[in-house]
Amino acid sequence: MPPTDPPAVFDAHAFADPALLRQALTHRSAGAPHNERLEFLGDAVLGLIVSEALYARWPKADEGSLTRARAELVRESSLAEVARRLAIGERLTLGPGEMKSGGHRRDSILSDALEAVIGAIYLDAGFEACRRVVLPWFEQAVSAVPASKVGKDAKTRLQEWLQGRQKPLPQYELKSESGEEHARVFVVRCVVSDPPAAGEGEGGSRRAAEQVAAAAVLEQLESGA
């Protein structure tokens, strides 16, 4: 059954139309009305909110750097992390198949639901109210992205870290692929032989999963773990 009350995290916004929130938390596997249209809208609204925050934070950054920083902040795994902090997965309405396969934990479903919630807030109260609610969810991430790393993704940074030390390049192995056609889940393992390190990543595409795995390995190497 869909939730009858909005999650506590949305206390900052009281929905004038609670049906919007219910729709935002309804996956297409549970039938209509589901959240795909709200996801489309929320993606655009979130892009503007994050773009504005980056523009203000880095007044001298060029367009390319800002674009890459935005991509880092709104990628699937980043949005899924925010969704987990907000306990969105616990409030999702899923069809029987997705419930059985653990869809409430899947990055692709969580990130889509987060965007749908943002779209719902926008429709319910407008852009300014939406920004007031949503921006705090991303402020820490915006502040944490160092300018020196904005222009390069995790795979590129890992490769350069190894090349700079004349070490072998990483190997990526697809461990599993599951889910329905519209919500595939890929798990990739990244392995570095020297120094020895390994990590796994999950994403809605093989490339996205590789990026998450590379980031996990790079974090190990940079911390000396």
> What CA–CA distance (Å, rounded) separates 86 from 133?
12
> According to the annotation, is 139 in a ligand binding site?
no
> What CA–CA distance (Å, rounded) separates 20 from 133?
16
Of the candidates 89, 141, 137, the residue with the CA atom closest to the CA atom of residue 110: 89
Of the candidates 42, 199, 175, the residue with the CA atom closest to the CA atom of residue 110: 42
> According to the annotation, is 194 in a ligand binding site?
no
Task: Supply the DSSP symbol for 24.
Answer: H
Q: Which tokens go with 208?
A: 């996205």
Strand, helix or coil for residue 101: coil
Of the candidates 185, 182, 178, the residue with the CA atom closest to the CA atom of residue 212: 185
Q: H/E element holding 193?
A: strand 185-193
Q: Which of 43, 72, 98, 210 is catalytic?
A: 43
> According to the annotation, is 115 in a ligand binding site?
yes
> What CA–CA distance (Å, rounded) separates 126 from 71?
24
Query: Helix 76-85 crosses helix 107-125 at what angle (to 10 degrees)?
Result: 70
Q: Is 43 a catalytic residue?
A: yes
Q: Is 115 a catalytic residue?
A: yes
Q: Which of 115, 124, 202, 210 is catalytic?
A: 115
Residues belonging to the binding site for Mg(2+) are 39, 112, 115
State the catalytic residues.
43, 115
Residues belonging to the binding site are 39, 112, 115
